[in-house]
Structure 1
Amino acid sequence: MGAGHGHDHKVSATSDRRWLAGALAVIVIFLLGEVAVGIYAQSLALLSDAAHMTTDAASIVLALWAIRLSARPATGRMTFGWKRVEILSAQANGLTLLLLAIWLAYEAIRRLFEPPEVHGLLVLITAVVGIGVNVLATWMISRADRTSLNVEGAYQHILNDLYAFIATAVAGLVIILTGWVQADVVATLIVVVLMVKAGIGLIRASSRIFLEAAPEHLDPDEIGRDMADRDGVTEVHDLHIWEITSGSPALSAHVLVQPGHDCHAVREDIAHMLDHDHHIEHVTLQVDHASPKILDIGNRDSHPCADSHGPTHVTKNAPHTH
């Protein structure tokens, strides 16, 4: 029997923290000014943008906290370390987005029937400044490692904010030119849609990792067939593919090897294939020689893993299956 595994330990996240902290500073400074202007101008669109930017700031704070915590070494009962902390923060951020979207949608609908006086010029000026701020923050976060669900979530939030500020600027211009104050509400509803989209996306992505589902870009059946078709392999079962954290796929499986073949050589061949073809580096394989009885048709009682989990992948060149 042989077991092999590879590990993907990423380099220091110092540069990520620097870019995220810079984006956070830019956002917070603008956020404080936007809240003041939004209250004075009685613009729900500006206040909704500020609420969205608050979640952006919170997502960056959570990302910074998760990066620091996930860098702790694996010790004691935390055999994978704290790498899934970033998934917790991503899910919390997604839930916050959805809750804020519900509140803003309620306020927007209420204002459709009781529209306040909105200062279109202040809305337009603030939105234009917001566009510049978000372009800068988006660029700064794009310099960090976006394979992290945390960083990617923060990036998508800032990008959505950029779109929202564009909508708000258009609303301010419409109010100046036509006096139609409901344009402010329309811009708010656009922000709500973007928040719901981002929130659902974060919750879905983080839930897949918590449920230990295979990453979306990896097909377990295809990978199982590729493993079973390697030279010397008779069967692959107990195949599990999951993510330890975003961007860190892992695989474990039980591989049966034809009598006469070198188990260690087969293991190394499969591990190389998984790394080269499917970009899975964290691999744990239990490799055994198949008993001649296992190759007999229907001899399930002789199988060492009669209660194996999941489908069984058998080599296409096998003379028999069971």
Structure 2
Amino acid sequence: MGKRTPQPITATPARRLTRQRLRAVLSGEFTQLPLEIVRQIVTNAAQDNIADSPLWVAQSLALVCREFQNAVEPILVDTVRLTRRNTLSMKSQFDGDRFARTRHFIALDIDNCLFPPSKCLVSFTGQISTLHRLVNPALGNCRPTRFTLCAAFNRVQDSFDCITHLHIQHGLLSYHEEIQTAPFPRLTHVVVTLNQIYEHSAFFDEIATDVPLLLASSPTIQRLLFRTLQLLRTHSDNVAAVLQRLADTTRDERLWLDERSFGQDRLRLLVDHLVWEEANAQDDIWYTGRQLYHPQDSIS
């Protein structure tokens, strides 16, 4: 047989990256790479294939970029946190529909009148004046069900009938204007993170009187959770004892307690904890703690 003439070796174009294959890639270690390396990989892939496989570059790499954006964007805008520092830089994005899918909006240190109301909004953390603007029917159909109050509870005449879950981060039961349930006629879950002022006996002694008043003010409440994160351990234990006696006396199954305490460094740790909680535990905080009264206890 004669000598076979070698055939030229042609580079095999990379296979087109389908959505199914792309998801397999994205679920692997590639997602753990730093952004700079990912960018360089994509750039090199485009440069290496543009001459022989321009169609692959146009279709597959474009698909990668779109898939990355589609995967990341909903996560980026799911929780939006506005402060005095970043509001101006984000203002230009408020006019479009980028935040139409935002579910959690946090505006701690500002009365923010810029953020566009979103019909997907589930929870809001901030001042009650901002909540008033968000749920204004004239601005859209924004109906969050969960509200975390991070500042003083200013008296309002409005009725926020969309709110069923209320968290007061620095609760003061002794000042009844702080714990208003009238603006929230459909409350089912209330969380009160007690203010550190309850380390003083003048306020501590009023807990047993104020808690029943709070429960009586809203017959729709199903769960009232007190948290002692701001108190020293000794005072946290004292509050727990008072609430336990109250629950045993009234046989009220709605009373719950989270008696964790951050100790001597509580104020600094509390700030960090609340920041983390606002962004990561909007759906969980309402169901923490332990129930203080169980009907079976009285039977036994």
TM-score of the two chains, using structure 2 as the length reference: 0.26
Which protein, 1 or 2, shows the higher relative CO under an 8 Å CA cutoff with sep ≥ 6? Answer: 1
